[in-house]
Amino acid sequence: MTGFPAARPAPVPVLTLGDILLVTLPGDLHDGAAEQLQHDIAHRIAAGPGPVGGVVIDVSGVDVVDSFLGRVLAEIAANARLLAARTVLAGLRPAVAITLVELGLTLPGLITALDVDDALARLGRTPGAAPPSHPEEGA
């Protein structure tokens, strides 16, 4: 034993684009970081400075997915849905999609998109556009 505390995995950044949270998963996401990300996203949706309408999770850098990560992604979507936000999984590679199917993971509550631009479009946003206005706010 070296006497040094165990290294904590680096947190995954959660960026805010209007009322959308954008997360880009690194290729080497460890279990502890995945669990922390799940907590961070739920906290940001519930306690953020404004309402969150959607969460985009970019997995284009992920080469390998296991049942744990699949479960975490499904739980992120379930938590977001309970907090009135939709979740879009963007950039799913064919090999990763095949692995998810082979593992029997259906990822309920997740919308899929080819890339981040497509994900934003599925949430009713266009890249660089402001969130939709609410008519009742202007009255």
Please report the pLDDT score of residue 67 as a whole number: 87
130 and 19 in contact (C-beta within 8 Å)?
A: no
Q: From first to last of its 139 residues, what are the pLDDT tens digits of the chain?
A: 555 555 566 788 999 999 999 999 998 888 999 999 999 999 999 987 788 999 999 999 998 888 899 899 999 999 999 999 999 999 999 988 898 888 888 888 789 999 999 999 999 876 554 444 444 434 3
Give the chain's domain count: 1
User: What CATH code is carried by the domain that includes residue 98?
Assistant: 3.30.750.24
Question: Which residues, 6+ apart, have CB-to-CB distance to 8 below 8 Å?
Answer: 32
Q: Considering only CA atoms, which of 8, 99, 87 is closest in space to residue 42?
A: 87
Tell me, yes or no, whether 129 lies in a domain: no
Is residue 88 a part of any domain in this protein? yes
Burial of 106 (0-12, 13-18, 19+ CB in 10 A): exposed
Is 139 domain-assigned? Answer: no
Give the per-residue pLDDT at 2: 54
Residue 25 maps to a domain: yes
Any domain includes 2? no
Domain range enclosing 27 = 14-124
Within a domain: residue 132?
no
Write the CA distances from 74 to 43, 68, 79, integer angstroms: 16, 10, 9
The side-by-side arrangement of strands in the sheet containing 54-58 is 14-17, 20-24, 54-58, 86-90, 110-113
